[in-house]
């Protein structure tokens, strides 16, 4: 067999098979490859990725280099520079929300750290370079204002009775806690909950988002149904539970509920997964260990990761300083892994079923 001629055409033909992590489509067809240069046996190019794929930027770059090395063994040097590809989100449903993915973080019961995980996911994705919003749909027990340190803040009413989210480290946040007094109980039935969810999704000035993280109320009920009706497609869920059997049973019910309202489960997170004693460095499985991972395997649902019990995580939440968890070397590896696994799972879904380009909704 004759030697393959190394030129731009050859390189571009190889690149046709490489998929954009956001859409699953060829990076050549989506015009995300620029400045291809071949000089002898040296190849250089620029790969442009969207902010949606920010958690996977370096991994995607390394995978592209490896593919080029494998398919073009005659190259002695391959240089791939990264750039930003601008691909604005389209409107979801008829509410006007512009977001690429809506992630509902739910649980079968309260007290498992769902709001802590929601906050960590939002900040982790933002920290990686994504455009993220955080919506508190837990009307009866809103925790997001406290965890983010913006408790007691009142939202502004903008033009045409719109709502302006509160800014938290560059993340727009909306909660019923910004509309009522901190100690005021909310006593609402289903129709009012449905209207609130619709208003938060459609009337808030979220801007263009890669991800809208929604902290759901615990259990199974009206809000999940309202969400599925308001936002067909592009909506998924993350289920949070603790390792013990009674919590896992409730998590299974939450997964079943998401299936019934057609919200795909993107993964399970095990919170309070062991406690490492700061004095003796011994791990104590207070609530058991590995239950959520075993449950995920049994149900065929991705396991996104675990978060151990950490006194400082609890203290930072009480202090409204949840962002500082990402400065803690004992905690951040767990949080980064969950963020990465979520983005990776979405990329795998896109690769298996590439996103079809659609005309924008006017």
> How confident is the model over 216-232, as pLDDT tens digits?
887 666 777 777 777 76
Mean pLDDT of 235-244: 90
Higher pLDDT, 208 or 228: 208
Average pLDDT, the chain: 89
Cβ pair 339, 55 in contact under 8 A: yes
Counted residue by residue, the chain has a size of 362
Query: What's the rounded Cα separation, in Å, for the pair 313 and 82?
Result: 34
Higher pLDDT, 293 or 108: 293
Q: Give the pairing of strands 132-136 and 171-175.
A: parallel
**For residue 312, which of 144, 116, 106 has the smallest C-alpha distance?**
116
Domain 8-84 indexed as CATH 3.30.300.130: yes
pLDDT in tens, 110-132: 888 999 999 999 999 999 999 99
Adjacent-strand bridge partners of 87 = none
Q: How confident is the model at residue 290 (pLDDT cuts 50, 70, 90)?
A: confident
Cβ pair 302, 296 in contact under 8 A: yes
Least confident of 75-84, 162-171, 189-198: 189-198
Q: Residue 305: left (phi > 0), alpha (psi -120 to 50), or beta?
A: left
Residue ranges, comma separated, of all CATH 3.30.300.130 domains in the chain are 8-84
Residue 257 has pLDDT above 50, yes or no: yes
Cβ pair 75, 68 in contact under 8 A: yes
Query: What's the rounded Cα separation, in Å, for the pair 341 and 181?
Result: 37
For residue 107, give both structure tokens: 């649980």
DSSP letter at 183?
T
Residue 171 has pLDDT above 70, yes or no: yes
Please give the sequence-ordered ranges of beta strands (E in DSSP) within 71-115, or none if there are none. 77-84, 91-92, 97-106
pLDDT in tens, 270-287: 998 888 777 777 778 887
Least confident of 147-151, 184-188, 241-245, 321-325: 184-188
For residue 73, give both structure tokens: 């063994």
For residue 79, give both structure tokens: 């240089």
For residue 168, give both structure tokens: 């938290």
Share of the chain above pLDDT 90, in %: 58
pLDDT in tens, 23-34: 999 999 999 999
CA dihedral 35, 39, 44, 46 (to 10 degrees): 0
pLDDT in tens, 56-99: 999 999 999 999 999 999 999 999 999 999 999 998 877 889 99
**Fold of domain 91-352:** Rossmann fold (3.40.50)
Report CA Rg, the chain.
Answer: 22
Mean pLDDT of 173-192: 78
What global pTM score does this model have?
Answer: 0.92
Cβ pair 284, 249 in contact under 8 A: no
Query: What's the rounded Cα separation, in Å, for the pair 263 and 256?
Result: 10
Residue 1 has pLDDT above 50, yes or no: no
Q: Can you tell me which residue has the tokens 């480290």? A: 169
- pLDDT at residue number 103: 95
Distances (CA, A) of 276 to 255, 281, 310, 340: 29, 6, 8, 24
Residue ranges, comma separated, of all CATH 3.40.50.300 domains in the chain are 91-352
Q: Can you tell me which residue has the tokens 């190889």? A: 14
- pLDDT at residue number 221: 66
Residue 183 has pLDDT above 50, yes or no: yes
């Amino acid at each position: 067999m004759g030697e393959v001629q190394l030129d731009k055409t050859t390189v571009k033909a190889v690149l046709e098979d490489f998929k954009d992590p956001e859409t699953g489509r060829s990076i050549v067809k989506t015009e995300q490859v620029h400045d291809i240069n071949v000089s002898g046996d040296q190849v250089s190019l620029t790969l442009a990725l969207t902010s949606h794929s920010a958690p996977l930027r370096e991994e995607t770059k390394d995978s592209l280099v490896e593919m080029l090395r494998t398919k073009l063994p005659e190259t002695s040097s391959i240089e791939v520079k990264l750039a930003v590809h601008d691909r604005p989100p389209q409107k979801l449903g008829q509410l006007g929300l512009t977001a690429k993915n809506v992630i509902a973080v739910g649980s079968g019961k309260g007290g498992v750290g769902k709001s802590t995980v929601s906050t960590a996911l939002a900040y982790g994705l933002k920290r990686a370079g994504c455009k993220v919003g955080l919506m508190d749909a837990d009307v009866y027990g809103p925790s997001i204002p406290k965890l983010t340190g913006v408790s007691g803040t009142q939202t502004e009413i903008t033009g045409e009775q719109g709502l302006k989210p509160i800014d938290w480290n560059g993340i727009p946040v909306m909660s019923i806690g910004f509309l009522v007094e901190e100690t005021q109980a909310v006593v609402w039935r289903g129709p009012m909950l449905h209207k609130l969810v619709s208003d938060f999704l459609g009337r808030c000035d979220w801007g263009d988002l890669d991800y809208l993280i929604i902290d759901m109320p615990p259990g199974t009920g009206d809000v999940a149904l309202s969400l599925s009706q308001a936002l067909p497609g592009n909506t998924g869920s993350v289920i949070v539970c603790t390792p013990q059997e009674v919590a896992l049973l409730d998590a299974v019910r939450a997964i079943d509920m998401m299936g019934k309202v057609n919200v795909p489960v993107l993964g399970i997170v095990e919170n309070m997964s062991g406690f490492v004693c700061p004095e003796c460095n011994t791990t104590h499985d207070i609530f058991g260990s590995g239950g959520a991972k075993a449950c995920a395997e049994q149900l065929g649902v991705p396991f996104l990761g675990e978060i151990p019990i950490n006194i400082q995580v609890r203290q930072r939440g009480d202090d409204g300083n949840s962002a500082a968890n990402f400065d803690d070397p004992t905690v951040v590896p767990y949080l980064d892994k969950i963020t990465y696994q979520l983005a990776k799972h979405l990329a795998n879904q896109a690769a298996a079923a590439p996103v079809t380009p659609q005309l924008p909704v006017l």
